[in-house]
Chain A
Amino acid sequence: MTDQPGLAVQNVTVTFAVPRVPRAQGTGNRDRSGTPPVLDDLSLSVRSGEVVALLGPSGSGKSTLLRVIAGIIEPDGGRVLIHGVDVTRQPTHRRAVGMVFQDNQLFPHMSALDNVGFGLKMAGVGRPERSERASTWLRRVGLTGFEHRRVTNLSGGEAKRVALARTLATEPAVVLLDEPLTGLDRELHDQLAAELGSLLHDASATALLVTHDPDEAATIADRTVQLAEL
């Protein structure tokens, strides 16, 4: 038998009132008043080392699925398994799931190096090793010399790369990417798409990326799945 899939989502259902006006993210509010579920009995699996792109239009629940996998939102039903382990009841910080947010969410009070090294710090890695590994990652994403830059002064592309480096530095079991290239200008978009693909494959990451752009999906991912089909 093949080994356990890197990521398995089984029968996940998430119901909450989708407001006309977007609520604050991550509220976790659930309205069980019979509105149609955002995610309805959804199952998906990603093989270890595979990069899967999930396609769907805006507002279709793609981000919600990512947040369920990351543990930011609790599903009403279903399970999430990482390398065969049921993590549905685990809090986010114990899931070994890395996530690159659409708006990066870099920590503004830390330098680029500290941002990238944050996950290592949480894992208890000592300062010298942490600095070295973070520097290495910055180099790998093409940001040599950016160690002590304030992250609030970075351009869109630079910030995205720092966010990537930050997530990948901890070598998580699963990497989630929420519309990673949306909003970047054309040229940057194409350039980063290629880089992203090679970075993920070099790291042998089990990755799930959501996007609405089929070309992007094709460039980066090994396999594309339509949300509507799940």
Chain B
Amino acid sequence: MNRLPRWLLVALAAGPVAGLLIFYAWPFVILVVEAVTEESIRDTLGRSSTWEVVWFTAWQAVVSTVVTIAVGLTPAYVLARYEFRGRTVLVGLLTAMFVLPTVVMGAAFLALLPESLDRTVVAVIAAHVVFNLAVVVRVVGSLWEHLPTDMEAAAATLGASRWKVATQISLPLVRPAVTAAATIVFLFTFTSYGVIRILAAPGTRTIEVEVWRRATQLGDVGGAAVLALLQLAALVAIVSWSTIAQRRHAQAIGLLPTSARRRPRTAGERRFVTLVAAVVSAVAAAPLVALVVRSFSTPTGWSTTAWTDLGRAEIRPGIRIGIDPVDAIGNSLTNAAWATLFAVVVGALASLAIAAAGRAGRALDGGLMLPLATSAVTIGFGMLITFDTAPVDWRASWWLVPVGHALIAVPFVVRTCVGVLRSVDPTMSDAAATLGASPVRAWRATVVPYLWRPLAVGAVLAASISLGEFGATSFLSRSGGETMPIAIEQLLGRTGSLLQAQGFALATLLAATTVILVVLVERLQTPLTRQPER
């Protein structure tokens, strides 16, 4: 009786659904159509390089995941269980590393590692590990933080030393979180694109990079489509396996509602915590520091030329590499502004619809999450080959790149908003009803106002995603409209010249912008997630 009228829900959901169908579902169909021809399947699957690429993608992802988990468990434990000065900063630093655009991460490692490790698999894996440390720290750490400490005390009363407690009791209990973290890290490293393009030798490619290469360098659209679908199938398989595994190992533990952090008590504990914190800080900060330092290193010695001459990417008088770094900054900002606008509008409508619609809302929610599971390259590629004939020949439209970015950003906006909207006490609109408000007006007065703050957070997230987006943009951007990540990748490829230093300078700019945006998000978000003390 007091439910929202159906027309309202339909009106809210119409835009997001239409956008999803046109810009995601339809390109997906076209991709399948392009791929599923006997010739392209036969050629691609028959080519030995295909399987080499698949093999490389798989094993580097496994190694990256294993190393990340192994390296990340101790910091996760320390950051989850101990309170110490600078803890929040360290967590923030790790989160910033995670949110940094992949090109920046690649650039930072290019700057950090010595020439001998340049373009090697070691560099790639190292970059992956540092990039994804935050996943382990936050996902495993958040479970660890809320584990009942009494269980560990009980084990201690039974004679278990600190180490035995950790390995026999704590680790098994956090296993579901470890599996979740491992899955996320595996997915990210499997679909690695920016890091590979910048850090790996030209012959070393993941499936993502191979899709891009075949489509844009060799003109083999069918082959690229087959590879994209192959990757998609692999991703679906991995996610399914992980969901099942997690469900099987889930166990009921009485989690504490508040965190169990405490200051280190003994000298031994203090030394341990300090050591871990110092090592993690060094590992996380070193690449960024190296990035800034290298931007001042030109072939003629230390100078600020790369920064002052940022607008001139000249090789010889009159001859340029075709990309203007300063233009790229402008393009990135413009794209980010439009992408944020699109993402915010679509995200707001979708969140309101999802929060109000119950079961149907879950379907829309799931649908909007799909672009996250699909790699960015696949999205960009699909859009490029779909919108190339009249009446939808939108390749030259200024809004195609922002739309691609918005597709990827909307899930983040929705996740941020729906949680808040769902937690609004429904009794409030009942109260409004008793005061004479129709369902729609009651909803507008009691639910909608809660949207603005998470929407602001979502907007900032969308902006930072758009600024750093590389995979989809590699396909969609036109000559002269390149964004910062594309410019950075081009500049960094010119080893030993001023252009490379300019690449580092541009990457530093992008890094700084992202970090500022992340700090903004944390500031905006803190009031949202503060737990009420019970």
Q: Do A and B bind each other?
A: yes
**Which residues in B have their C-beta under 8 angstroms from that of A27?**
260, 262
Tell yes or no: A2 within 8 A of B by CB.
Answer: no
Tell yes or no: A72 within 8 A of B by CB.
Answer: yes
Tell yes or no: A186 within 8 A of B by CB.
Answer: no
**A26-B157 Cα distance, complex, nearest whole Å:** 14
Q: Do the beta carbons of A105 and B260 come within 8 Å of each other? A: no
**Which residues in B have their C-beta under 8 angstroms from that of A118?**
155, 158, 160, 168
Q: Do the beta carbons of B251 and A105 come within 8 Å of each other? A: no
Q: How would residues 73 to 109 of chain A score, 1 for a CB under 8 Å from any chain B CB and 0 otherwise?
A: 0100000000000000001111111110101010111
Tell yes or no: A70 within 8 A of B by CB.
Answer: yes
Q: How would residues 502 to 534 of chain B score, 1 for a CB under 8 Å from any chain A CB and 0 otherwise?
A: 000000000000000000000000000000011
In the complex, how many angstroms separate the beta carbon of A75 from the nearest chain B beta carbon? 12
Chain B residue nearest in CB terms to A21? B533
**Which residues in B have their C-beta under 8 angstroms from that of A23?**
258
In the complex, how many angstroms separate the beta carbon of A189 from the nearest chain B beta carbon? 22
Q: How would residues 164 to 175 of chain B score, 1 for a CB under 8 Å from any chain A CB and 0 otherwise?
A: 110011001101
Chain A residue nearest in CB terms to B252? A152
Of residues 122 through 149 on chain B, the ones whose CB sits less than 8 Å from some CB of chain A are 148-149
| Given known A-B contacts A27-B260, A122-B164, A98 and B158 have beta carbons under 8 A apart | yes
Q: Do the beta carbons of A122 and B159 come within 8 Å of each other? A: yes
Can you report 13 residue pairs joining A to B where beta carbons are below 8 Å apart? A24-B149, A70-B157, A74-B265, A95-B157, A103-B150, A103-B254, A107-B155, A108-B253, A118-B168, A119-B158, A122-B158, A122-B159, A152-B251
Q: Do the beta carbons of B150 and A92 come within 8 Å of each other? A: no
| Given known A-B contacts A27-B260, A93-B161, A152-B251, A105 and B156 have beta carbons under 8 A apart | no
Tell yes or no: B204 within 8 A of A by CB.
Answer: no
Tell yes or no: A155 within 8 A of B by CB.
Answer: no
| Given known A-B contacts A93-B159, A170-B159, A105 and B262 have beta carbons under 8 A apart | no
Q: Do the beta carbons of B151 and A105 come within 8 Å of each other? A: yes
Q: Do the beta carbons of A21 and B159 come within 8 Å of each other? A: no
Q: Do the beta carbons of A26 and B158 come within 8 Å of each other? A: no
Instruction: Identify the 10 closest CB pairs spanning chains A and B, nearest first.
Output: A119-B158, A92-B156, A122-B159, A105-B154, A99-B157, A26-B149, A93-B156, A109-B172, A24-B260, A21-B533
Contact of B157 among A74, A152, A167 (CB under 8 A): A167
| Given known A-B contacts A93-B159, A109-B172, A170-B158, A99 and B153 have beta carbons under 8 A apart | yes
| Given known A-B contacts A99-B153, A152-B251, A26 and B260 have beta carbons under 8 A apart | yes
Contact of A101 among B154, B161, B172 (CB under 8 A): B154
Tell yes or no: B424 within 8 A of A by CB.
Answer: no
**Which residues in A have their C-beta under 8 angstroms from that of B158?**
93, 98, 118-119, 122, 166-167, 170
Contact of B262 among A28, A91, A95 (CB under 8 A): A28
Tell yes or no: B331 within 8 A of A by CB.
Answer: no
Tell yes or no: A180 within 8 A of B by CB.
Answer: no
**A96-B156 Cα distance, complex, nearest whole Å:** 10
Tell yes or no: A228 within 8 A of B by CB.
Answer: no
Of residues 358 through 416 on chain B, the ones whose CB sits less than 8 Å from some CB of chain A are none
**A108-B265 Cα distance, complex, nearest whole Å:** 28
**A27-B264 Cα distance, complex, nearest whole Å:** 10
Tell yes or no: B281 within 8 A of A by CB.
Answer: no
